[in-house]
Chains A and B, each alone.
Chain A
């Protein structure tokens, strides 16, 4: 059996600057057979290795049907991500994956889908939005809620306008502080729950972002009548091995890397919101 720890070489095909601190790497395994065999689900992640520096977990944002390339949207926060900003087309890096359990897209089929995110442009759920838009007839209403600290932090801004003009789609964006010409709400995204129109009892809600934001969102959703098991969240924890061995991502008895990172709310409810877990 191949060693689960060893990455494989991949090539940067294209690098897209999304905002001053956020960029997307479009990648391809250099071994064509490996590339052809690579399959993933939205919400899964890869471990990306920067030569000589280290590995980090980054979610895959492209469409699983796109066999040409796979994309990772990265925000500059640490040593490895800073190094990745230097990569350009043709440069090589290491990739292993995909890892973890992704979003419940099969369960969401034929239902209202709601995605809730906070913080700086939340890539994992943008992959869900694109997935639903491309298969629009498979799903019912689509509600997109996105909160950012400042309006300048919203990446893919034109896409939000585009999405808001789709049928049966509602886009609710909020910035704690907004610059001139900001067309959306100023304030907390969680203030917009009254405007959400969904079939609460059958909706599937997928969220990621700061846990404080998700906690408030869960309260609002339960109040609206969304059942607990209709709510899914992506839990972010330190991950170094990605295969449930290194212990950093433990959340109670769960390993976020292999049991998650996407969890149904009842699975994490006992510890959710308790500081220190």
Chain B
């Protein structure tokens, strides 16, 4: 449902409305040579004119002089750190002098957070994380508390990077679900579309003008061209059987020769959910915190069971990651665990390309 047009000069009114509603705004900003999501108070802090150049093992920003705020594809973060914290305490225990132990849950901060500039691929990934963390046998209260305090302002992606392949996974570049507001960015402003009741309420507080047919056409055309400009693709959306039929394919050895088993791919992946648990006792010994931290199937410890490491080598770790991401996710959540954001390609220090590896193992081309 389209609400109207917001000129770029009035973008600040969107931030102000969110602030008034009690949200901290987080949006794209340039830090350390990359687009990251960080606290946003002024529209001038947005990455005006910045364009990301991504390639396997490479991420660079350049200034194009373009007036737009969202003429880039993505940075290393997705929505994951805002709902599934990289490190957080789950509970604490206290032991008194007579040896009794008391346990108490540690609740996450109940901060209301507005995220601005969310991409379609990241909304698809959030949907998958929702299924994993809050729609299974048990609901994770820490994830759920963060999730219900989010308001999401999506921006349809008109500048995919060379590493993007969301069209082939069916997840972009147009945001179609789970947003509160979705913006189409044009040279002079934004078409605003509400996707939820909070989104409609928010849009009602903005002074929007009526969108013209020319603006709508231009926005639709840009998204269409954005889709056409993607050159990478996964060979198919259903790779489960092909992967599990090729567990002894020589390509696993080949990729293991290149892979550093560093876990960068799992850290930037918006759907990877593995985490370890750890204990943090005080030196005095009177209480202890129980934490969870992001983990990676590329670590030695991930598959360790008393004296035995199930995946001791890089070949079995990469195979675990890929067969899970593109294969057994189908068994667990009814679809692939890949949303085509391309982050694992750009942020891999040796430039391993998931689409190339999948094609080498399963057959089928990666450039369409």
Binding site for B on A (CB under 8 A): 1, 3-9, 30, 49, 51-55, 77-78, 90-94, 236-238, 240-241, 243-248, 250, 252-255, 258, 270-271, 274-277
Q: Which of B136, B278, B305, B320 touches A277 (beta carbons < 8 Å)?
A: B320
Contact call B278/A54, Cβ cutoff below 8 A: yes
The answer on a CB contact under 8 Å between B310 and A276 is: yes
A90 nearest in chain B by CB position: B99
- Per the bound structure, the CA–CA distance linking A78 and B132 in Å amounts to 30
Q: Is the CB of A5 within 8 A of B139?
A: no
- Are B101 and A9 closer than 8 Å at their CB atoms? yes
The number of residue pairs between A and B whose CB atoms lie closer than 8 Å in the complex comes to 133
Contact residue among B275, B305, B330 (Cβ-Cβ distance under 8 Å from A237): B305
Measured CA separation A159–B251 after assembly (Å): 52
Verify B137–A250 contact, CB threshold 8 A.
Answer: no
Please indicate which of the listed interface residues A6, A49, A240 has the most CB atoms of chain B within 10 Å of its own CB: A6
Are A54 and B279 in contact, with the CB atoms below 8 A?
Answer: yes
Task: Supply 14 further A-B pairs (C-beta < 8 A) apart from A238-B310, A240-B275, A258-B137.
Answer: A4-B138, A8-B103, A9-B101, A53-B279, A54-B277, A92-B99, A236-B305, A238-B304, A243-B137, A244-B138, A252-B327, A258-B136, A276-B310, A276-B320
- Inter-chain contact B101/A77, CB cutoff 8 Å: no
A59 to chain B, nearest CB (A): 14
Task: Indicate if B11 sits at the interface (CB-CB under 8 A).
Answer: no
- Across the interface, A241 reaches (CB within 8 A) one of B277, B310, B324, namely B277
Contacts of B302 in A (CB 8 A): 238, 248
The 9 A-B pairs at the shortest CB distance, nearest first, are namely A253-B331, A276-B316, A247-B274, A253-B328, A52-B281, A77-B306, A4-B138, A52-B288, A3-B105
Cβ contact within 8 Å between A6 and B90: yes
Verify A51–B277 contact, CB threshold 8 A. no
Q: What are 7 A-to-B residue pairs whose CB atoms are below 8 Å?
A: A91-B99, A92-B100, A94-B93, A245-B133, A248-B274, A248-B295, A276-B311
Bound-state CA distance A3–B144 (Å) is 11
A92 to B102, CA, bound (A): 10
Inside 8 A of A258's CB, which chain B residues have their CB?
Answer: 136-137
Closest to B240 in A: A253
Q: Mark B315-349, 1 if CB is under 8 A from A, else 0.
A: 11001100110011111100000000000000000
The answer, yes or no, to whether B212 is at the interface (CB within 8 Å) is: no
* B285 on the A face (CB < 8 A): yes
CB distance from A3 to the nearest CB of B (A): 4
Contact among B101, B138, B278, B281 for A93, CB-based, below 8 A = B101
Interface residues of B in 265-312 (CB under 8 A from A): 273-279, 281, 285, 288, 290, 292, 295, 297, 302-307, 310-311
Pick from B105, B275, B277, B285: contact of A52, CB under 8 Å: B285
Residues of B within 8 A of A274 (CB): 247
A245 touching B319 by the CB < 8 A rule? no
For B313, the closest partner residue in chain A by CB is A276
B-side contacts of A49, CB under 8 Å: 93
B306/A3 in contact, CB under 8 A: no
Find out whether the CB atom of A244 lies under 8 angstroms from the CB atom of B136.
yes
**Given A51-B93, A52-B288, A77-B306, A246 contacting B275 (CB threshold 8 A):** yes
A240-B105 in contact (CB<8A): no
For the complex, what is the distance from the CA of A258 to the CA of B99, rounded to whole Å? 32
Q: How far is the CB of B323 from chain A (nearest CB, A)?
A: 8
- With A1-B139, A3-B90, A5-B90 already in contact, the answer to whether A246 and B305 are too (CB < 8 A) is no
Q: Check B91–A5 contact: CB distance below 8 A.
A: yes
B230, chain A: closest CB distance, angstroms: 29
Which residue of chain B has the shortest Cβ distance to A49 in the bound complex? Answer: B93
When distances are taken between beta carbons in the complex, the residues of chain A under 8 Å from B104 are 6
Collect the chain B residues with CB atoms within 8 Å of residue A270's CB: 244
Residues on A with C-beta less than 8 A from B136 are 243-245, 258
Chain A neighbourhood of B290, CB < 8 A: 5, 55
Given contacts A52-B285, A244-B137, A245-B140, contact A250 B102 (CB under 8 A): no
B331 contact from A3, A52, A252, Cβ within 8 A: A252
A9 to B276, CA, bound (A): 22
Kindly provide the distance from the CB of B299 to the nearest chain A CB, expressed in whole angstroms. Answer: 10
Residues of A contacting B132 in the complex (Cβ-Cβ under 8 angstroms): 245
Residues from chain B with Cβ under 8 Å of A236 in the complex: 305
A246 and B295 form a contact (CB under 8 A): yes
Q: Which residues of B contact A247 (CB under 8 A)?
A: 273-275, 295, 297
Q: Determine whether B210 belongs to the interface, using a CB cutoff of 8 Å to chain A.
A: no
Select from chain B the residue with minimum beta-carbon distance to A55.
B277
A270, closest chain B residue (CB): B244
Chain B nearest CB, measured from A147 CB (Å): 18
The contact of B310 among A4, A237, A245, A246, by CB within 8 Å, is: A237
Which of A55, A245, A246, A254 lies at the interface centre, i.e. has the most chain B CB atoms within 10 A of its CB? A245
Q: Is B127 an interface residue (CB 8 A)?
A: no
Q: Contacts of A254 on B, CB cut-off 8 Å?
A: 331
Complex: chain B residue closest to A6, CB-CB: B91
Measured CA separation A77–B306 after assembly (Å): 6
Q: B297 contacts A7, CB within 8 Å?
A: no
A78 touches B103 (CB 8 A): no
**Do A238 and B91 touch (CB < 8 A)?**
no
With beta carbons under 8 angstroms apart, the residue of B91, B95, B133, B305 that contacts A3 is B91
Measured in the bound complex, the distance between the Cα atoms of B102 and A9 in whole Å is: 7
Closest to A274 in B: B247
Q: How far is the CA of A49 from the CA of B279 in the complex (A)?
A: 10
Instruction: Determine how close the nearest CB of chain B comes to the CB of A42; give it in whole angstroms.
Output: 20
Set of chain B residues within 8 Å of A243, measured between Cβ atoms: 136-138
